[in-house]
Amino acid sequence: MSLWRRVLAYGGVAFAGFMFLAAGLLKGLDPAGFAGQIAQDVPFLSGMATPLAVAGIAVETVLGATYLLGFRRRWLLAAGLVLVALFIAVTVPKLGSDDPTDCGCFGNFVVRTPAQVLMEDLAMAGGLVLAFAGGPGSRLRPWRAAVLAPAAIIGIALPLAAPALPLDDFATRLKPGATMADLQLLEAIPDLEYGAHLIILADTGLDDCQNIPESLFDFVQARPETKVWLLRPSDVLAREGATWLCLFGTELVEIPAPVARPLYRTLPRSFAATDGVVTRTWSGLPID
């Protein structure tokens, strides 16, 4: 019986550890997106959303690595349960929605509904409760400390470095092979289902045509069969001006912020699509 208790305890804490570690690393790819979620879910913390996002990513990464190593002191398990309780508290109010963009607990990398997220959170809580039943576990031996130190460094360094790294196709839902239906863009622009399109997702325009990169003009002029669209998230200010008037035939479309946010880490971001499927992406304006 004692052996089975230890096996169940490690199985429970390892499951919770994997979930914490995966969540921390995936959110670390897009810390700005996680900060935005914090500001949305807990408005009175919006002024501290960015440092809280970095700290939260580090905590999840270290807790996940700690649990996977089998280090399950009760105070550490209690810390995990408190964190899971917070996740549940922000997920429960969203249960009335089936929109997968309403929950970014694993960043934009994994698409799930709030109900699915709640089930995962409850499973994590169950794993941690099982871990309590198996006793305090082993001490923090030197080899465990040697593993936890790099985990802590990664947990802090990843969200700080990620914005400067070319990770957009990994950290967002917008990547080659994604369909317009997957990205929920057909309701706003049904025309994207057929033909060749160039879509620029941006929050502001340039002040005058002379400031538009020549490479963008060349790119558009070399593809006369391609329809150009400017998508503007509904939660940002935009100047509907010279930039888009200079690109003849461009249409400006406003899309809901929950649809736009999973498509970018920073704006502008652009992509090409043919017959409703993304064929190429750019972190910025499109250039060859």
Query: Quick one: 10 and 117 in the same domain?
Result: yes
Query: Quick one: 135 and 204 in the same domain?
Result: no
In tens, the pLDDT along 57-75 reads 999 999 999 898 887 788 8
pLDDT at position 206 = 52
Query: Quick one: 67 and 200 in the same domain?
Result: no
Q: Is the predicted pLDDT of residue 228 greater than 80, yes or no?
A: yes
| 126 in any annotated domain | yes
In the chain, the number of structural domains is 2
In tens, the pLDDT along 110-137 reads 667 788 888 999 999 999 998 887 766 6
Query: Quick one: 99 and 229 in the same domain?
Result: no
Distance CA 244, CA 163 (A): 27
Query: Quick one: 160 and 90 in the same domain?
Result: yes
| 174 in any annotated domain | no
Distance CA 67, CA 37 (A): 26
| For residues 13-36, average pLDDT | 90
Q: Is the predicted pLDDT of residue 207 greater than 80, yes or no?
A: no
| For residues 214-237, average pLDDT | 82
pLDDT at position 73 = 82
Query: Quick one: 218 and 272 in the same domain?
Result: yes
| 202 in any annotated domain | yes
| 183 in any annotated domain | no
Of 149, 165, 181, the position where a domain reaches its end is 165
- Supply the range of the domain harboring residue 78: 2-165
Task: Quote the pTM value.
Answer: 0.77
Identify which of 183, 39, 17, 168 has the alpha carbon closest to the alpha carbon of residue 111: 183
Residue type, 62: V
Query: Quick one: 70 and 104 in the same domain?
Result: yes
Of 111, 131, 165, the position where a domain reaches its end is 165
What are the CA-CA distances from residue 208 to residues 108, 243, 247, 278 (Å)? 34, 6, 12, 30
